[in-house]
């Protein structure tokens, strides 16, 4: 004989599991200390300056859209 399940409880359990999964992703994405955030921002700025410094064409910063 099949096991009887409570659909309401199963639905709530599924919603909790999805919320936990989203929370874990947010902890990974946004769980950085202020020092880590500022270091990452400084690295992004440095790489952007590096790429802009090697751009051909001189004055225009953004290439024309294709």
Does 66 fall in a domain? no
pLDDT value, residue 59: 61
Does 12 fall in a domain? yes
How many domains is the chain built from?
1
Encode pLDDT of 11-27 as tens digits.
999 999 999 999 999 98
Give me the helices (H) in the chain, please.
Answer: 7-30, 34-53
Does 58 fall in a domain? no
Instruction: State which residues of the chain have pLDDT below 70.
Output: 58-66
Q: Which domain holds residue 21?
A: 7-53
The residue to which tokens 């399940």 are assigned: 5
pLDDT value, residue 57: 75
């Amino acid at each position: 004989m099949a096991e009887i399940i409570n659909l309401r409880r199963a639905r709530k359990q599924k919603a909790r599991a999805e919320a936990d999964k989203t929370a874990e992703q947010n902890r990974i994405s946004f769980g950085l200390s202020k020092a880590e955030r500022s270091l990452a921002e400084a690295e992004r700025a440095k790489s952007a300056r590096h790429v802009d410094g090697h751009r051909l064409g001189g004055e225009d910063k953004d290439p024309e859209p294709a």
